[in-house]
Amino acid sequence: MIELTDEILAKVIKKRKKASYKGTYGRLLVIGGNRQYGGAAILATTSAVYSGAGLVSVALAKENHSALQARLPEAMTLDFDDLIKLREVAKAADVIVIGPGLGLERLDLLTEVLNLLTENQKLVIDGSALTLFAREHLDLPFPENTVFTPHEMELERLSGLKIGQQTKEEVQGFVNQLGAIVVAKSSETRIFAPNRESFILKIGSPAQATGGMGDTLAGMVGGFLAQFHGETEEVVAAATYLHSLIASVLAQKSYVVLPSRLIEEIPLFMKKYECN
């Protein structure tokens, strides 16, 4: 496994070109945020915007629109029950992040998205969408550039590998079969791509162990995929590494690192580490 270092950031985070506009940095759609878990979608969406995605929309329960807009006027909002609008925005998206706070009752939205996406789109499957995917044994097609972001229990559900059995070899085998990138989250997060060398993350802090951190990572992964067009697993690795890097720096002064606090730092850290 390749141990990730700051180098992955300089490799992935390109200096922006003068002649560019918001469309250059991608259209991203987050789908999630039912009534109980609205905050998860808010965090993922905010994280995507602060990572630099050019145009960000979020489809979530309409009861959560007001809170989303109060925190993040930079994003556009859809009611996740308005399928006509949702399809329209999903078709135009470069990246879709599905799952943060979606809820296990919305299998319909996951299948809708899987049926709709085409090969030139990118997909991040997180949170409730992972559990739905595992539970329903979905064998719907997904784009080549699809990223699953399970924590250990979700990986168990997805792969059948018990937590104690999630060795490098076993997970790699599963990933080769799955045909997608997998961010296997744990205290030492690993990133696997089919038939590629995997990455391991040795930084990170237990101060990150708090509700909303996974949603924040999903948004960052989406935000990076929207803008950066190198090897997909490297782009994903850079987002994941940066997430833990920021957390570990903030953890030097903070017993617990709040996701909303981490998000504020994203554009500042990206600037420090951008390619020169």
16 sits near a second copy (criterion: CB under 8 A) = yes
By C-beta, is 46 or 145 nearer to a second copy?
Answer: 46
Pairing assessment for the beta strands 146-148 and 122-125 based on DSSP bridges:
parallel
Which ranges of the chain would DSSP assign to H, the alpha helix? 7-12, 38-50, 65-71, 83-92, 107-116, 128-135, 152-159, 168-178, 213-227, 232-250, 259-273
24 sits near a second copy (criterion: CB under 8 A) = yes
260 sits near a second copy (criterion: CB under 8 A) = yes
Taking the complex as a whole, the smallest distance from the CB of residue 195 to a second copy amounts, in Å, to 29
Q: Please choose, from the candidates 82, 79, 76, 84, the residue with its C-alpha nearest in 3D space to the C-alpha of residue 45.
A: 76
Taking the complex as a whole, the smallest distance from the CB of residue 119 to a second copy amounts, in Å, to 26
Residues of span 184-223 touching a second copy by CB under 8 A: 186-187, 205-207, 209-213
Residue 204 CA from chain centroid, whole number: 17
Helix (H) or strand (E) holding 103: none
Residues of span 44-83 touching a second copy by CB under 8 A: 46, 49-52, 54-56, 62-79
Amino acid in the structure at residue 242? L
Q: From CA 191, how far away is CA 234, in angstroms rounded?
A: 9
Select from 15-23, 107-115, 168-176, 232-240 the region that touches a second copy (CB under 8 A).
15-23
By C-beta, is 119 or 264 nearer to a second copy?
Answer: 264
Residues of span 128-157 touching a second copy by CB under 8 A: 151-152
